[in-house]
Amino acid sequence: MLLTSHLDIVYALTGPPQVRIEVKPNSVEISPKGQMEVLVVARNPIAEELHDVRLSWFSDAGVTVSPESPKSNVLVPYGTLAWLLRLSQADSIPTPGTVYLRIGYTWQRKNGVGEVPCLSLASLNVKARKLNASEQVAEIQLKTALTELMEHRPGIVYLLITNISDVSIKVTKIEANMPIFLKCTLPELKGEVSIAPREIRAFQIKIEATEAVQPGVHMLLFEAKFEWKKSGREWTGNAIASHEVQVGVLGESELLTAVGVPSFLLLPGFLMVLTFALLWRVVEPRTDFPLKAKAGEFWLVAITLSLLTALMYPVVTGWQGVARNYLKGYGLSDVMSVWFSSIIFSAGAYFVLVTGIGRGVKLYRRWDEERRTPSATDTPINVLRKLHRQNLGLILDRVNVKIEGEFHRAYLLQPREQNQQRIWVGPNIIVHWQAGDFAELKQKVDYQLGLQRSANDLANLLEEGQRRDILEARWKPMKQLTRPYEVNASELSPVQPPTNIVEQE
């Protein structure tokens, strides 16, 4: 009793009693998943009851605190109260800091003066748990002989996952990231695939190229996601492996190498010009093609046609149902379509431009030649018109020509040209007037003959006169020479001077 009284005197002199706070453990590490439990104990150092005992806190750490409070809030003499705190990570990224603990209580002084509110403080150090790196848990590798990937020729890639840790891991998902024109068949993970420590699991992945690819080197990325348990907590991680593969179109490289074209983009124009040149040499006109192979002019035309083809290809394929653009991607079907359509289009253009137009030009030239060249059946009026078409007038050169063994003095109905073998000659044209008064028409004819006007204008006047039965235009009989006649140009001898072929009677 004497000891107790002595302590009361001490407390009365020194102030309220200080509750001692113990935190077990006083430092914790928080993991992304799961909770950490901390025990907070309050000890009463005096022989009196402390009432309204309560625990509160505040923190600068990224944690959430969930307490489990004791049933009583009275701290008996020399007794204890305990709180169980469950700490969990509040944010996606752990934030270290301190949790400051406060235990408040009231003390009733023995002298009856009243209750005294009291407060004791403690702290809990929170650390961010060092995560186990995925590289320390599992390794991922790609094993494959796949270097080239083409349409209709799929490849196989083996994904090897090695558990290098001392706990089992579970593979939860395998994902692939690659260009959209490549597709893969990933393994089916029924549930979760478990891999024991130091064990290796292989997963087969099938890679295929679609109908429209972008040729070149492309990257394949594979990601494996897994999880494991350690120290009573769950952990997750992932690993990524990559592989480069050359993507191409079946047969394209060999085809371009064979024809000597550096790019598929230039193939259409090259084929068009080459097909045109082949038909030019073999069919018609069977001469050397003006554009020499792969010369500057050749590539100018070929590149222009290739660019036009690239613009028209989506339009033409769109007419067939689905528009395709080989500037964005192409496959074997596009190569075949471009190859055959270029050849067919060029052949069609050849037959239209060269054969069709060429024959048309020949027919025109033949028709024009017939319109200009005299014939044995021509009337005098027809010959006058043909003289006009040859830019000849009525004053024509005369020659001596031998016909059926006799010499005749004839008019040249064609201009004489160097190295000409055959030439047309003819007798005079006689204009015979019928009886009557036709002064007006005769005056016009005299006017044309006198001033050497157009032979065609004279032909029109003579045609009008014959239609009105005013006159008759006929050939003047000159022995055997009674019509236009074709003779050897080498047998002619000139006669001077030139005279008018037309006479009136």
The distance in angstroms from the start CA to the end CA of the chain is 183
Q: What is the pLDDT of residue 10?
A: 47
Identify the band that residue 383 occupies on the pLDDT scale cut at 50, 70 and 90: very high
Residue-wise pLDDT for 385-413, tens only, equals: 999 999 998 999 999 988 877 888 899 99
Which three-class secondary structure state does DSSP give residue 275? helix
pLDDT score of 431 more than 90: yes
Identify the band that residue 278 occupies on the pLDDT scale cut at 50, 70 and 90: very high
Which three-class secondary structure state does DSSP give residue 90? coil
Task: Please confirm whether the linkage preceding 285 is cis (ω < 30° from 0).
Answer: yes
Dihedral pair phi/psi, residue 282, rounded to 5°: -95, -40
CA angle 271, 322, 215 (to 5 degrees): 55
pLDDT score of 293 more than 90: no
More confident residue, 355 or 67: 67
**Pairwise CA distance, residues 340 & 287, whole Å:** 25
pLDDT score of 302 more than 90: yes
**Pairwise CA distance, residues 463 & 445, whole Å:** 11
The candidate with the shortest Cα–Cα distance to 242, out of 229, 224, 269, is 224
Residue-wise pLDDT for 175-204, tens only, equals: 999 999 999 999 888 767 889 999 999 999
CA of residue 234 relative to chain centroid, distance: 47
Percent with pLDDT over 70 in the chain: 93
Q: What is the pLDDT of residue 131?
A: 53
49 by Cβ neighbours in 10 Å (0-12 / 13-18 / 19+) ranks as middle
Q: What is the pLDDT of residue 309?
A: 94
CB atoms within 10 A of CB 207: 21
Residue 79 in contact with residue 44, Cβ under 8 Å? yes
Which three-class secondary structure state does DSSP give residue 229? strand
Q: What are the structural domains of the chain?
A: 2-128 (2.60.40.10), 134-248 (2.60.40.10), 252-367 (no CATH), 380-504 (no CATH)
Q: What is the pLDDT of residue 212?
A: 87
**Pairwise CA distance, residues 114 & 504, whole Å:** 165
Residue 85 in contact with residue 101, Cβ under 8 Å? no
pLDDT score of 258 more than 80: yes
**Pairwise CA distance, residues 162 & 441, whole Å:** 117
**Helix 332-350, helix 267-282: angle, nearest 10:** 40
Identify the band that residue 130 occupies on the pLDDT scale cut at 50, 70 and 90: low
Which three-class secondary structure state does DSSP give residue 71? coil
The model's pTM: 0.53
**Pairwise CA distance, residues 287 & 189, whole Å:** 70
The candidate with the shortest Cα–Cα distance to 213, out of 242, 251, 243, 180, is 180
pLDDT score of 30 more than 90: no
